[in-house]
Amino acid sequence: MSVLIFVDQTENHIKKASYEVLTYGAQVAKQMGTTAEALVLGTVNDDLASLGKYGITKVHQVANESLNHVDSQLYAKVIAEAVTASGANVLIFSHNQTGKAVAARVAARLKAGIVTGACALPDTSNGFVVRKTVFSGKAYANVSINSPVKIISLNPNSYQTVAGQGTAEVSALNVPLDASKVKVTAVNKVSGEVPLTEADVVVSGGRGLKGPENWGVLLDLAKELHAATACSRPVGDAHWRPHHEHVGQTGVQVAPNLYIALGISGAIQHLAGVNRSKVIVVINKDPEAPFFKAADYGIVGDLFEVVPKLTEEIRKMKASA
Amino acid sequence: MKILVCISKTPDTTSKIAFTDGNKKFDEAGVQWIINPYDEWYSLVRAIELKEKDASVTIHLVTVGGADCDPIIRKALALGGDEAIRVNADSTDSYFIAAQIADVAKKGGYDLIFTGKEAIDYNGSSIGGMVAELVDAPYISLATLFELNGTTATITREIEGGEEVAEVSLPVVVSCQKGVAEQRIPNMRGIMAARTKPLQVVEPVAADNLTSVVNFELPPAKAGVKLVDADNVAELVRLLHEEAKVI
Ligand SMILES: Cc1cc2nc3c(=O)[nH]c(=O)nc-3n(C[C@H](O)[C@H](O)[C@H](O)COP(=O)(O)OP(=O)(O)OC[C@H]3O[C@@H](n4cnc5c(N)ncnc54)[C@H](O)[C@@H]3O)c2cc1C
């Protein structure tokens, strides 16, 4: 019995979301009176023994370069082998792009019940019940997993990462690999920008910005805050901004610490993608805009006047800090 | 060339979310049902586009659910599916649902299986991956572009902070999202034709339910917005720094 945490990597580095699931998984293990172990696929340059800081006792690594790209079919086989080899009865993923590609596949392979989009620690007092977001963040469901092996895929940004002291034992795991049926021909990373789903701060613009040529005020603010940029659906549809920035029910769902909405009305479908943000700030010239009802802080005013001032005040605050 | 498109019935995006039966059931009162937008706008429309390019393509739709799904399936047929299969079972467990779809998929021998990136009610993002595993096919998740050249698909998918382009030989399972296609409106001819298209109802195969919903909860209401005067932006910065501690 143990908890196994899948550690996601990109370009040979462990992703931020992985530290979150490591902390979470270690807590699940503690709660169940067992150990937390980690699984790393592919080659990474980070010091794996240092994952002990997150409460991990052992790191299993399949250091094969062919696993540096995520092929869900290969991954599912390898992860399922690792679950068997380590005797894990709980397996944890981040519900990020990799988790969405792989976790459910592993579940089907192991015939393990899965809860995706989990947002809290499981309740193990009577069975194994995991809370997840449903209806695009408008509600929660408490779901019982009834199979011997249980899989949780945790929503990014829903558990506080904590690093302490400790060193993990690192051990190589040998799993025979099939040839991949997926040939990756290109990887296009949006360089120099903060990935939207990993960002602590998101600055988002709507139709109130009136046109792509006006995005400068938003970008200045985002730069000052090291924020990722996002937009409402009509903005993506009109190609004012690339469509991967579109957040909402039919776009990306984000849960940053701070979401700043500029010139967005706050339609229910938009809110569905941002309502898990810890703090929402709305700047809109219409005091009746529905977004204010979902906001923590707001300014009723013309964004073209307010936003440059906001950027300036943040700059001042940082300079004096 | 045979394409299987997974269709799920979801509440309209503006539906009021409430629960009944001691918070154990979704309150369906007054709810309008739609085809899950990802299934309709992206997977189904892309399948239709492939058929428009190559008349030898047939599109089958599959859904797992009760007779209340039939209007949704008819609408999907009106958009352009050729035939539909409804597995007559009610479940919230993704493994059970995937096992049903995988069974249909194996019997039908499809070259391409499309799902939406997730259902907007349960937000599982699980069915595509599970079906792929059960039929032992590659799975490309969160696709934003899908091109077909003979029996090779070129698929762009979302990864963290960017996209990845990959080539894969059919058969393949793909979960679709924005970018793959554009929403369409069914026309009168389609609606008329849909009435007579075959909708086959089959009974479920044996499969375990590995999870069950204990209950639902609504999030606590927000405390209410703190408004700051537009002439006092510094105050907002102070609040975000000192009170909310987010900057
Ligand atoms: C099935 C379905 C799914 C959908 N999915 C999504 C989704 O995923 N994401 C999404 O965003 N939308 C989605 N929508 C669309 C959604 O309903 C809204 O139409 C959309 O979010 C509105 O975008 P907006 O707020 O940018 O524009 P608008 O609603 O036009 O709002 C613009 C806002 O800017 C304000 N404004 C204008 N000028 C200024 C100024 N100078 N200063 C300050 N404020 C100003 C206005 O007061 C207004 O509130 C979906 C719709 C449907 C039917």
pLDDT at B116 over 80: yes
**Choice between A189 and B150, residue whose per-residue pLDDT is larger:** B150
End-to-end CA distance of chain B: 54
Structure tokens at B120: 């907007």
Whether chain B has a CB inside 8 Å of the CB on A205: the answer is: no
What are the DSSP calls for A56-100, one per residue? -SEEEEE--GGGSS--HHHHHHHHHHHHHHHT-SEEEEESSHHHH
Query: Residue A258: which of B157, B209, B247 has the nearest Cβ?
Result: B247
- Whether residues A268 and B240 touch (CB distance < 8 A) is answered with no
pLDDT at A301 over 80: yes
- Residues of chain B found within 8 Å of residue A98, distances taken between Cβ atoms: 159-160
In sequence order, which residues have a C-beta less than 8 Å from that of residue A261 and are 6 or more positions away? A204, A206, A274, A280, A281, A282, A283, A284, A291, A295
Mean pLDDT of B197-220: 96
Q: Which single residue is written with the structure tokens 């539909």?
A: B84
Please say whether the dihedral angle defined by the alpha carbons of residues A250, B43, B172 and B129, taken in this order, is positive or negative. positive
Phi, psi of B16 (to 5 degrees): -75, 130
Q: Which single residue is written with the structure tokens 């899989």?
A: A151
Give start and end residues of each alpha helix (H) in A111-256: 216-224, 233-237
Average pLDDT, chain A: 95
Report how far ligand 1's centroid is from the alpha carbon of B241 (Å): 28
Whether chain B has a CB inside 8 Å of the CB on A167: the answer is: no
- Residues of chain B found within 8 Å of residue A278, distances taken between Cβ atoms: 244, 246
The percent of residues in chain B predicted with pLDDT above 90, rounded, is 94
Whether chain A has a CB inside 8 Å of the CB on B167: the answer is: yes
A2-172 belongs to CATH 3.50.50.60: no
Query: Residue A185: which of B17, B166, B210 has the nearest Cβ?
Result: B166
A229 touches A202 (CB < 8 A): yes
Mean pLDDT of B151-170: 95
What is the atom index within ligand 1 of the atom nearest the CA of A303? 42
Mean pLDDT of A306-317: 97
Helix then strand then coil, in percent of chain B rounded to 5, is: 30, 30, 40
Q: How many CB atoms lie within 10 A of CB A126?
A: 7
Mean pLDDT of A171-191: 93
- What is the CATH class of A196-320? alpha beta
| Smallest Cα distance from A263 to chain B, Å | 14
Whether chain A has a CB inside 8 Å of the CB on B35: the answer is: no
Mean pLDDT of B76-102: 96
Report how far ligand 1's centroid is from the alpha carbon of A262 (Å): 10
| Domains of chain B in sequence order | 2-217 (3.40.50.620)
Q: Indicate the domain borders of chain A.
A: 2-172, 196-320
Substitution target in A94, A116, A246 with the highest count of B β-carbons within 10 Å is: A116
Report how far ligand 1's centroid is from the alpha carbon of B160 (Å): 25
Query: Residue B163: which of A147, A188, A302 has the nearest Cβ?
Result: A188
- b or e along B210-227 (b: 16 or more beta carbons within 10 Å of the residue's beta carbon)? bbebbbbeeeeeeeebee
B95 touches A111 (CB < 8 A): yes
- Residues of chain A found within 8 Å of residue B117, distances taken between Cβ atoms: 100
- Whether residues A101 and B129 touch (CB distance < 8 A) is answered with yes
pLDDT at A104 over 90: yes
Whether chain A has a CB inside 8 Å of the CB on B93: the answer is: yes
Q: Same topology for domains A2-172 and A196-320, yes or no?
A: yes
**Choice between A268 and A193, residue whose per-residue pLDDT is larger:** A268
What is the side-by-side order of every strand in the sheet holding B172-176? A182-189, B162-169, B152-159, B139-149, B172-176, B112-116, B2-6, B58-64, B83-87, B199-202
pLDDT at A296 over 90: yes
CA distances to A257, A260, B209 from A206, rounded to whole Å, are 20, 11, 42
Whether chain A has a CB inside 8 Å of the CB on B120: the answer is: yes
Confidence band for B91, pLDDT divided at 50, 70 and 90: confident
Report how far ligand 1's centroid is from the alpha carbon of A231 (Å): 9
- Residues of chain B found within 8 Å of residue A314, distances taken between Cβ atoms: 237, 247
Summarize pLDDT for B165-206 with one digit per residue, the tens: 999 999 999 999 989 999 999 899 999 999 999 999 999 999
Summarize pLDDT for A196-219 with one digit per residue, the tens: 888 999 999 999 999 999 999 999
Whether chain B has a CB inside 8 Å of the CB on A248: the answer is: no
Structure tokens at B73: 């399936």
- pLDDT for position B34: 97
CA distance A246 to A205: 10
CA distances to B76, B77, B79 from B193, rounded to whole Å, are 11, 8, 10
CA distance B76 to A149: 37
Mean pLDDT of A122-132: 96
Summarize pLDDT for A220-249 with one digit per residue, the tens: 999 999 999 999 999 999 999 998 899 999
In sequence order, which residues have a C-beta less than 8 Å from that of residue A288 and are 6 or more positions away? none
Structure tokens at A210: 């009136």
Confidence band for A151, pLDDT divided at 50, 70 and 90: very high
Name the nearest CA neighbour of B162 among A193, A6, A216, A232: A193
Confidence band for A189, pLDDT divided at 50, 70 and 90: confident
Average pLDDT, chain B: 96
- pLDDT for position A243: 85
What is the side-by-side order of every strand in the sheet holding A129-134? A169-172, A58-62, A35-41, A2-7, A90-94, A150-154, A113-118, A129-134, A139-145, B211-217
pLDDT at A192 over 80: no
- Residues of chain A found within 8 Å of residue B13, distances taken between Cβ atoms: 249-250, 268-269, 272
A135 touches A268 (CB < 8 A): no
- Whether residues A297 and B123 touch (CB distance < 8 A) is answered with no
Mean pLDDT of A268-285: 96
- Whether residues A184 and B165 touch (CB distance < 8 A) is answered with yes
> Which residues have C-beta atoms less than 6 Å from ligand 1?
A 206-208, 232-235, 248-251, 263-265, 267, 269-270, 273, 284-286, 289, 302-304; B 13, 37
Whether chain B has a CB inside 8 Å of the CB on A147: the answer is: yes
Mean pLDDT of A106-113: 98
| Smallest Cα distance from A195 to chain B, Å | 4
Q: Dmax of chain B from CA atoms?
A: 67
Summarize pLDDT for A22-78 with one digit per residue, the tens: 999 999 999 999 999 999 999 999 999 999 999 999 999 999 999 999 999 999 999
**What is the pTM (predicted TM-score) of this model?**
0.93
Whether chain B has a CB inside 8 Å of the CB on A125: the answer is: no
Report how far ligand 1's centroid is from the alpha carbon of A46 (Å): 42
Name the nearest CA neighbour of B37 among B7, B80, B74, B63: B7
Beta bridge partners of A259: A202, A280
Q: Which helix (H) or strand (E) holds B236?
A: helix B233-238
- pLDDT for position B155: 98
A120 touches A158 (CB < 8 A): yes
| Smallest Cα distance from B198 to chain A, Å | 30
- pLDDT for position A198: 83
- Whether residues A72 and B233 touch (CB distance < 8 A) is answered with no
